[in-house]
Amino acid sequence: MNISTPEHLKSRINLLNNTINMLNIRIASFPSGSLAIRHTRTRVMYYHYSSGNNTKYISKSNTTLISQLAQKRYLQHTLKIAMSELAALNEALDKYPAVAIEEAYDSFDEKLQKYITPIVPGDDQYVIKWLETPYKKKPIKPGSKTYTTLKGEIVRSKSEALIADRLYARGIPYKYECPVPVDGEVLHPDFKILKLSTKNEVYLEHCGMMDDPEYTKEMVVRSRKLAKAGITEGNNLFYTFETAEIPLDLDQLDEMIERNFR
């Protein structure tokens, strides 16, 4: 079972640790001492506090020193906040329960599970329900060349089979050519994907004939239609591309899956 919250905490902790290390290095590169500001009714004065409680007035014309000390003060302030957040997250991670509520059903006695309806379904139950929701696929014309995926599905191209197999091998739930109604028309994006970390649905379109001008034109029109249904590139719509001479980039596909579909 994959519960995302502890992983999110660990990711944030890693970010904070890296940020704290970077801040300490940056702070050490600035002049020693600190900046203080005094306000009067008519002016603002800047002072350089150094070791031994020595205080020296800084002329406003010395913008370099003022900027350096102001930046250092900001970095020290940011460092303090980062360390406070890091301490809180480490404590939260230490206290995080071994079993989250999404795992309650799976951790229950198997002999009783069939009599129980989960209040908060775990990933497994959620995926099963999502995959079992029926939908009408786009018909494939008899005699058309097809390919069979590892899951046993029939798809229209070798590249679509490769995409399907890579999603399946990584445990990414997907539906092939699930219908999307748009202004009285039904479109069938190549892959509808369930992103388990957020429970959001995203789409992947494979553009396999980018060297065909008419095909490219159709894909532009299609993308605008999908946008009307709230399916937009960079948000919940992603693309892969190839031409007759430039095949699908599998390394790029794997990176896309890990970055956007987990």
* Better pLDDT: 252 or 2: 252
Residues 106-128 have a mean pLDDT of 83
Q: What percent of the chain has pLDDT over 70?
A: 98
d(CA 155, CA 153) in angstroms, rounded, equals: 6
Asked if residue 48 has pLDDT above 70, the reply is yes
- Of 170, 143, 148, nearest in space to 158 by CA: 148
Model confidence pLDDT, tens digit, residues 76-100: 999 999 999 999 999 999 988 877 7
> Mean of the pLDDT values across residues 157-183?
97
pTM of the model: 0.60
| CA distance to 55, 104, 152, per residue, from 60 (Å) | 16, 64, 74
Q: Check pLDDT > 80 for residue 2.
A: no
pLDDT at 1: 44
Q: What is the mean pLDDT of residues 22-27?
A: 97
- HSE toward the beta carbon, residue 39, CA cutoff 13 A: 1
Query: pLDDT band at residue 52, thresholds of 50, 70 and 90?
Result: confident
Task: Return left, alpha or beta for 152; rule: phi > 0 is left, psi -120 to 50 is alpha, else beta.
Answer: left
Mean pLDDT of 36-57: 89
Residue 4 is predicted with a pLDDT of 55
